Copies of this chain bind each other. A is one copy, B any other.
């Protein structure tokens, strides 16, 4: 957008309206939107970059995601990556390829949805690109920010607790509810359409100067618990024993699963898109973390322990131990 929005003189009104929606003033900006590139005063801390695609009919359907939802979600999934590093986001680039039936109102509403999330974190949309798409809506968002002490996915150790910051499977329940037009499941549909990036958790970790001594590893839970544990275990160099009774399931997921005769635990294991954070916490830091999260009014649920088995197991509510052997839900190039 830094250059391309300005390349459409027949669309000057659109450009002017968009600039009105996007206009902010970040103190680090040197060359703003409207030039060949965006320039800002470099951070004193390390620089962080995340970039994520949302493709129509792969990641969302226009039938149940409106443009403001998409503006929110396409930024939120990147902010979630920032939360997972303990990082602070600043600048957003948005590339949109849009079919020619998309209206100017759609576009303005997309940016409104995005800026209303961005403004809550003093994040600014500063550039990107805009093109016709001869096919689906394609959205690619890049976020740049800073971090003092990045927490990676790779530091979990044998004996660490596995903790999660909120319910799992809720977004999957929300997606099913949307597809079935069951709008009473409002918490779940909201979590699917407008996920909440856990920057509040990152902020608490930073406030208490918690680094990789206290949190060995962290990542956001976007592909379902099992798929994400593939990374936290370093491709099964470690294993994890999950405790079914401790896995947080929302009431929406519980009720919808009951009515569909499905298992809400399966949704938690395989569903994805909850954008909660997964943390690997050494045993001697568990109480400190619990105390800090409780005082900040944030959830932290201890749902399993890392071990050296190189595999995943689920301790069922009846006490039996079930092996989780097979990956499910992946397909070629599917996010």
Contact = CB atoms under 8 A, between A and B. Distances in A.
Interface of A: 2-4, 6-11, 30-31, 34-53, 55-59, 81-82, 84-85, 87, 91, 93, 95, 97-98, 100, 126-136, 138, 140, 142, 144, 146-147, 150, 152-154, 218-220, 222-223, 227, 230-231, 327, 330-335
Contacts of A154: 35
A296 B335 CA distance: 48
By secondary structure, the A interface counts as mixed
A167 to B, nearest CB: 20
A334 to B, nearest CB: 6
A134 B4 CA distance: 25
B142 A8 contact: no
B223 A152 contact: no
A226 to B, nearest CB: 10
A111 to B, nearest CB: 15
A135 B133 contact: yes
5 contacts: A36-B50, A38-B49, A39-B150, A40-B49, A53-B131
A224 to B, nearest CB: 10
Contacts of A330: 7-10
A133 B59 CA distance: 10
Contacts of A10: 327, 330-332
B227 A36 contact: no
Given A37-B81, A47-B47, 20 more contacts: A7-B335, A9-B227, A10-B330, A35-B85, A35-B219, A36-B85, A37-B48, A37-B49, A37-B85, A42-B45, A49-B91, A51-B129, A53-B95, A53-B129, A58-B97, A58-B131, A95-B140, A133-B135, A133-B138, A144-B144
B7 A132 contact: no
Most chain-B CB neighbours within 10 Å: which of A3, A34, A136? A3
A10 B46 CA distance: 33
